[in-house]
Amino acid sequence: MDFVVATNNSYKFKELKAIFRDYSGQDSSQQGLNRQGYNSQGRTLHMPAEYGITFSYEEKGETFFENAFGKADALYSLLKESGIEHPVIADDSGLVVPSLNGEPGIMSARYGRMEKGEELSDREKIDYLLSRLNETLNKSGSEQKKRSAYFVCSMVVILGTDRFFAVQETFHGEIALKPAGEGGFGYDPVFFIPSLKKTIAQLSDDNKNRISHRALAGRRILTLLDSLKTV
């Protein structure tokens, strides 16, 4: 079955394809060991452009779920208008830093834009995040726990009119003192995993796609689809 992903972000699409590819229907400790799971399930992911669809969506929701569902619903409607009735997958993800009252949160992709007056690059958003956090900690103390952070991924799959599933997962870590690593995208270079003593950007793609918030949400969606037997 063909699924269309409600994104123009090639990095996000690549990650989701890898998560689908590596899914085996086994428990999480076995993920990535059966690379045939993706093909044997017969599920293929596509971007909107593959169907000649120009897709854009202005996120106006107040929660990750509202934004994820909004994107999925908007693309599903566009496809249906074009006579294409494929299921749609969308996610809204972001970084939450409790010491910053939840920033960047649902504004993760647009963080700092209002203050700076322009769209920031990934590195500029990281620099802005570090400056905000350091300023806050300088005022309130620098205990390590105040650098705690977590990623959120809310993922929605629309199978048909009034038929959808939604899941939400989190992945906890800390904000590093400075960026490290060349992999991943977004805030990955500054998201430190204490148990591994590495940032996400220092992990291989395979390792990231076993443990990340998007991987956790994606596998839950796939488990739900497996339970339906027909998709």
Tell whether domain 2-228 is in CATH 1.10.540.10.
no
Task: Report the pLDDT value the prediction gives residue 116, as an integer from 0 to 100.
Answer: 74
Locate the domains of the chain by residue range. Answer: 2-228
Measured distance CA(186)–CA(54) in Å, rounded = 23
Catalytic annotation, residues = 92
Mean confidence (pLDDT) of the chain: 89
Among candidate residues 189, 211, 97, the one with its CA nearest the CA of residue 149: 97
What is the average per-residue pLDDT within 51-77? 95
Beta-ladder partners of 91: 155
- Lowest-pLDDT range of 19-33, 167-181, 204-218: 19-33
Tell me: the pLDDT tens digits for 119-137? 899 999 999 999 999 999 9
- Lowest-pLDDT range of 27-36, 62-71, 170-179: 27-36
What is the average per-residue pLDDT within 69-73? 97
Q: Is the pLDDT of residue 32 over 70?
A: no
Percentage helix, strand, coil, to 5, in the chain?
45, 20, 35
- Name the pTM for this structure: 0.88
Could you write out the DSSP letters of every residue in 107-164? GGGGTTHHHHTSPPPHHHHHHHHHHHHHHHHHHH---GGGGEEEEEEEEEEEEETTEE
Q: Output the CA angle 206-122-124, nearest 5 degrees.
A: 145
**Helix, strand or coil for residue 214?**
helix
Tell me: the pLDDT tens digits for 98-112? 999 999 999 999 999
Contacts of 182 (CB under 8 A, 6+ apart): 189, 201
The pLDDT-based confidence of 203 (bands split at 50, 70, 90) is very high
Output the furthest CA–CA distance in the chain (Å, rounded). Answer: 58
What is the average per-residue pLDDT within 81-90? 96
**42 or 128, higher pLDDT:** 128
The pLDDT-based confidence of 146 (bands split at 50, 70, 90) is confident
The pLDDT-based confidence of 23 (bands split at 50, 70, 90) is confident
Task: Report the pLDDT value the prediction gives residue 119, as an integer from 0 to 100.
Answer: 86
Task: Report the pLDDT value the prediction gives residue 145, as an integer from 0 to 100.
Answer: 62
**Encoded tokens for 146:** 């105040």
